[in-house]
Amino acid sequence: MTQTIRSPTTGYVIADLEKSRLAQTPAFTVYHVTDEMDGRWYLLKVSPDVPGNGRLDREALVLKDIQREVERLRSKEKPGTRDGGLRYEKCFPRLHESFLFTEQGNRRVNIIEIPGTQSVADLYPIQEWRTRDNVRIDPKSSAWLMGRLLKSFTLTHPIGVGVGKIDGGNILVNPEKHRAIFFDWTQAHQYQSYVPPEKVGEEIAQAATQVFIALGGDLATGTLPYSDQLLDTQYVELLREFMSGRERNPDEAAKRFYELVRNMWDKEFHTFTTIPIKKGDRHG
């Protein structure tokens, strides 16, 4: 069954209410939609009821603040900056439109754009590698994933925004493009200034833990499966430090991480690689 949800500017077409529904949480339901005017695709989030509108209201405010900071930083870059400079615009979902769905009792709707992604089929929650596909990622693939998450923190934490929800279901990746974003911002926290240090450490720890799990790591022993990409323990030791919450500066965390990665591996594009999880994988 097709449904069109009307905003003040256009109509968003849900081609099939069942097949187009991508996720359902207590805070919202997500649908894949297309703009009836230009055919572009978006992710539509709709609140389950009016009392729940506040969660999507919060997300809309947070994403607007993030976009303003992205644009501010971009405006400070010199014209012709190589590779687009900081390129923060590819690190976050973008709020395309937010409105009340009057035909359904004024429930809040957020229309979300994922920059640089051509199809919704290109996006994966990282938890599905392990829970659905029974695979883990190799260390070199984990490096860009961890790097992207740390880069997100270098923008959000200084402007007083904590992600709030950091788990394997809320980290979406486009493996082919080496992009990773936090998708759900309904549980974000906004502070008057910089995010408190203990919260910074907590969010870095949560992100590092999800990367560690994606690597097939054993949380009980703090070890990773054997890989010939890891010639010593420096990489796992840094991940474990991040997981402890002791690192409370996102800029310093990103600097330390990228310095280690550059020392370990040549600077070249590494094709995203997964490895089947096997019972008895050797850890060390």
Shared domain check, 207 and 71: no
Q: In the numeric block, which tokens belong to residue 192?
A: 């008057």
So what's the pLDDT on residue 276?
95
Residue 195 and residue 270 in one domain: yes
* pLDDT value, residue 282: 65
- From CA 9, how far away is CA 277, in angstroms rounded? 48
Give the pLDDT confidence score for residue 284 in this predicted structure: 59
Last residue of one domain, picked from the residues 85, 120, 155: 120
36 shares its domain with 164: no
Spatial contact of 95 and 60, defined as CB atoms under 8 Å apart: yes
| pLDDT for the residue numbered 273 | 95
Overall average pLDDT of the 244-273 stretch: 95
User: Which of 103, 120, 137 finishes a domain?
Assistant: 120
Task: With a cut of 90, say whether residue 183 has pLDDT above it.
Answer: yes
Least confident of 66-80, 86-100, 139-153: 66-80
Give a yes or no: residue 23 inside a domain. Answer: yes
Per-residue confidence (pLDDT) for residue 37, from 0 to 100? 94
User: What is the rounded distance in angstroms from the CA atom of residue 197 to the CA atom of residue 189?
Assistant: 14
pLDDT above 80 for 14? yes
Q: For residue 112, what pLDDT is reported? A: 98
Q: Are residues 161 and 109 in the same domain?
A: no
Confidence of residue 250 (pLDDT cuts 50, 70, 90): very high
Q: pLDDT above 70 covers what percent of the chain?
A: 96
Question: Which pLDDT score is estimated for 81?
Answer: 57
The answer, yes or no, to whether residue 83 has pLDDT greater than 60, is: no
In a domain, 258, yes or no: yes
Q: What is the pLDDT of residues 117-143, one digit of tens each?
A: 989 999 999 999 999 999 999 999 999
> What's the average model confidence in pLDDT over 81-104?
84
Q: What is the mean pLDDT of the chain?
A: 94
Report yes or no: 162 and 203 within 8 Å, Cβ to Cβ: yes
Q: Give the pLDDT band of residue 283 (cuts 50, 70, 90).
A: confident
Range of the domain at 148: 123-276
pLDDT tens digits, 26-48: 999 999 999 999 999 999 999 99
Domain count, the chain: 2
Tell me if the pTM is above 0.75: yes
**Is the domain of 139 the same as that of 261?**
yes
